[in-house]
Amino acid sequence: MTAAVLAGCATGPADRAAQESAADRVMAAYDVPDLLAQAAPAVTQSLNQNLPEDVDTATRSALRDAVYEAYDPQTLQQDVLDRLRDAAAEDDQQRSLTVAADALHTPLATRMIGLESATGDPNFADNFKAFVDQPATDDRKQRLRQIDLLAENMQVVQLQTEFNVTLLEAMIRARNAASAAEYQVENSRVEQMVAETRTNISAKLEQRVPLMLLFVYRNVEDSTLSEYAALQGQPELIWTNQALKKAIIDTLAAASDRVTDNFNSAS
Give the pLDDT confidence of 205-244 residue by residue, as tens digits.
999 999 999 999 999 999 999 999 999 999 999 999 999 9
Stronger pLDDT, 231 or 135, i.e. the higher one: 231
pLDDT in tens, 144-187: 999 999 999 999 999 999 999 999 999 999 999 999 999 998 98
Q: Is 0.75 surpassed by the pTM of this model?
A: yes
Contact yes or no for 255/39 (Cβ under 8 A): yes
Q: Which of 247, 254, 248 is nearest to 88 (CA)?
A: 247
Compute the C-alpha angle 154/166/88, nearest 5°.
45
User: What single-letter amino acid sits at 215?
Assistant: F
> How much is the pLDDT for 83?
97
